[in-house]
Every structure is written in structure tokens, then in C-alpha cells.
């Protein structure tokens, strides 16, 4: 099963299943001498872990990080950083009725077709439990980016049809974590909560969008052809469970504008250049231009419902799937640290790659 590694220089390889003994990973290419704050890594894991509210799965996992290698006297050694997060609260018998069932919009059928065999307990490798490894690696990447003054923050932009107003940029993004929806606007948060309450009573689920901002990214990151910075960000986001869309800058809305309205005009600012607008989302020609990098990620509604659904089994017989188990009403608020983590991995990787393409960075 290839495809378990991500990155070029800064590289994460993850392993483990939803109901296996542990989720873990190896971070390779991390530079030596970076001050490591394991309490910060744990806090990032805590933002992702289950059991945070009545809207998410009741699975109770402490998600305590265990680092196996790559750190000495509080600093990275430059060698592979190995880590584990043990699974403690598996209820594997909850999934026995799914052994031969194909759940709508899940990976059951495709896994069977690809491998001829699958772990049906909680989705196995296709479970969002795998994102534990991404959040750990992303926390390490954030520490590396902090050395360069780069900050990454994400927040929930919409849940179902409830969305932040167009002028949400005036919101205080530092209040994002104060909201149970990880939405920086209280009025919008309250509307989201009411919608979730209604949807949960119906046994249904909701999707939504997450916006992400990377600040203080220097100009010059990214490659001009296949490894464009926004292309790598897109791949990173689309590799997250339940993600169905990615847009950067003006995104799809920009396709409805004329070029005269869409162009970001250059202006002189202090000792350098900037632009009057940022419809490019901080990236032009696949390379960062020094503006904030802005993008949005769309998540589908969770496929597991607390309703009965018709389906078929592995032999093609019609069946009815009963809604039961421990599941989220929406995954979007818990996905905020995952989006940040994947963005941090991409930008940190390109930061290291830039040292190879610019002789001034080497000498």
C-alpha cells in the first residue's frame, strides 16, 4: 500500500488504523537545532481529539503523544523523529454488522475492489483517526515556521448554509478557539449551533468550509511548473478525509470577474513592493509573492447517519443499514487543526526547498 508519505524534504510517513494499537509516524528531513516544545504538540493534538462536545464522536481518546526519537535536550537532532499515539477506546464490536456491508459514500467498496480485503472496524486506514499523525507532524512544522516568523491560522467559515458574513475579515481571529464551532463570529456561531441541534435530532449530518491564512510567508516559495505552492497546498487539503473542494484567493468567485477587476495591482510599500488587493491569495505563477496566503477548504457532510439507509452487501444483496455507533454530526470544527497542520507541512517543506534553489540561501 504505497502513498503513506507526504513531502519532499520535510517528509511525514504515517501508519496505523482506527482500531489498531496505535497511530504513529516518522518525520524525516526536520533540521537539527530547532527548539522543541512537546507541550505545544500535545495542545495541537487536544484540539483535534474526539469527545470535545456533543456534536462529535463520543470516543474518548486522551491522544497522549509518545516521542521515540529525534529529540535530545529539548532540540531536534536532525535525525528521524518517530512518534506514537496509542488507541485506547476502540469499540470494535460496534462495527461487526458492517463486515459484509457497503456503507453509502464510504471507502468500503473501493477498498474491496483495490485490495480484495478491508479492515471494517471504524474504516481502518481510511478513518479520520489517521489525521492524528498529520497534526503531530504539523505541530513540528509550525515550530520550524515560527523560527521564520510564519504564522498559520484556520477557522470555520461555514456549516451547512450558515456562513460568516462577507465582512468577516473584521472579526478578531484570536477568538476562534473561544467558539465551540471554531468560528470567530459569535452571531454566526450561535446560528451554527442551532442548525446542528436541529440536524442532530433528524439523525443527519452537515458539511462546511474552513478558511486558512498563512501570514509572513516570504516571497519566492514554490516551483513554477508541477510543484507550484498552491498545487501542493491543494493536494495536501484534498488528501484530508471528507474534503471535496479547494480554492485559493478569489477561487471560483474570481472566474466571474473581468481581468481588469481581478488583477492585483502592484504598489511600492516601504522598501519593497506589495499589491492593492490579494485576489491571487498570496501566490502568483505558483510562487509566493509575500502577501498573506489565503485559501478555503470544503468538507462534505459525514457519510454515517443516525438514520436507516438502503444499501447492498458484498454479494450484491439489498440490505438496510441501521444508524448506530459513535459519530460526529459535523467534522468541520475538529478539522481546523488538521487544515493548519497540512498547510504548515507544505509551507515548511517549500521553505526548506527554497534553500536549494537560491544560492543566497546556501552561502
pLDDT of residue 237: 98
User: Hey, what domains does the chain have and what are their CATH numbers?
Assistant: 5-362 (3.60.150.10)
pLDDT at 89 (0 to 100):
59
Q: What is the pLDDT of residue 314?
A: 82
CA distance 243 to 300: 6
Cell of 192: 451554527
CA neighbor of 123 nearest in space, from 168, 57, 74, 172: 57
The cell for 48 is 483535534
- Residue by residue, DSSP assigns 144-198 as HHHHTT-EEEEEEEEETTEE--TTGGGS-GGGGGGSTT--S-HHHHHHHHHHHHH
The per-residue pLDDT for 52 is 59
Q: By three-state DSSP, how is residue 41 classified?
A: helix
The reported pLDDT for the residue numbered 357 is: 65
pLDDT tens-digit profile, the chain (363 residues): 578 999 999 999 999 988 788 999 999 999 999 999 999 999 999 999 866 555 555 555 689 999 999 999 999 999 999 999 999 855 445 556 677 788 888 888 888 888 887 777 666 677 888 999 999 999 999 999 999 999 999 999 999 999 998 766 656 888 899 999 999 999 999 999 999 999 999 999 999 999 999 999 999 999 999 999 999 999 999 999 999 999 999 999 999 999 999 999 999 988 788 899 999 999 999 999 999 999 999 999 988 888 888 888 888 888 888 776 667 899 999 999 999 999 999 999 999 999 876 545 533
Amino acid at each position: 500500500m504505497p502513498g503513506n508519505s507526504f513531502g519532499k524534504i520535510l517528509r511525514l510517513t504515517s501508519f496505523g488504523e482506527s482500531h489498531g494499537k496505535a497511530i504513529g509516524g516518522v518525520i524525516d528531513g526536520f533540521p537539527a537545532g530547532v527548539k522543541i516544545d512537546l507541550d505545544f504538540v500535545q495542545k495541537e493534538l487536544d484540539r483535534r481529539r474526539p469527545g470535545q462536545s456533543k456534536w462529535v464522536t463520543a470516543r474518548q481518546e486522551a491522544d497522549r503523544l509518545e516521542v521515540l526519537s529525534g529529540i535530545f535536550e529539548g532540540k531536534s537532532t536532525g535525525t528521524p523523529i518517530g512518534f506514537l499515539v496509542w488507541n485506547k477506546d476502540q469499540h470494535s464490536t460496534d462495527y461487526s454488522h458492517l463486515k459484509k456491508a457497503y456503507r453509502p459514500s464510504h471507502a468500503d467498496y473501493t477498498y474491496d475492489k483495490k485490495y480484495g480485503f478491508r479492515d471494517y472496524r471504524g474504516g481502518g486506514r481510511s478513518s479520520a483517526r489517521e489525521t492524528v499523525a498529520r497534526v503531530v507532524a504539523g505541530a513540528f512544522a509550525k515550530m520550524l515556521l515560527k523560527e521564520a516568523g510564519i504564522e498559520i491560522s484556520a477557522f470555520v467559515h461555514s456549516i451547512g448554509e450558515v456562513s460568516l458574513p462577507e465582512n468577516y475579515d473584521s472579526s478578531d481571529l484570536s477568538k476562534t478557539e473561544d467558539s465551540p464551532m471554531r468560528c470567530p463570529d459569535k452571531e454566526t456561531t450561535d446560528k451554527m449551533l442551532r442548525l446542528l441541534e436541529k440536524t442532530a435530532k433528524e439523525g443527519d449530518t452537515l458539511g462546511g468550509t474552513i478558511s486558512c491564512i498563512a501570514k509572513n510567508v516570504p516571497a519566492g516559495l514554490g516551483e513554477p511548473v508541477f510543484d507550484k505552492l498552491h498545487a501542493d497546498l491543494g493536494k495536501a487539503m484534498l488528501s484530508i478525509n471528507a474534503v471535496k473542494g479547494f480554492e485559493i484567493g478569489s477561487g471560483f468567485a474570481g472566474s466571474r470577474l473581468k481581468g481588469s477587476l481581478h488583477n492585483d495591482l502592484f504598489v511600492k510599500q516601504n522598501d519593497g513592493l506589495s499589491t492593492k488587493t490579494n485576489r491571487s491569495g498570496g501566490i502568483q505563477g505558483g510562487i509566493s509573492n509575500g502577501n498573506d496566503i489565503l485559501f478555503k477548504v470544503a468538507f462534505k457532510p459525514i457519510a454515517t447517519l443516525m438514520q436507516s439507509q438502503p444499501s447492498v452487501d458484498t454479494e450484491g444483496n439489498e440490505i438496510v443499514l441501521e444508524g448506530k455507533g459513535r459519530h460526529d454530526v459535523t467534522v468541520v470544527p475538529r478539522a481546523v487543526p488538521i487544515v493548519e497542520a497540512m498547510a504548515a507541512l507544505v509551507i515548511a517543506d517549500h521553505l526548506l526547498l527554497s534553500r536549494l534553489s537560491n544560492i543566497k540561501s546556501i552561502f
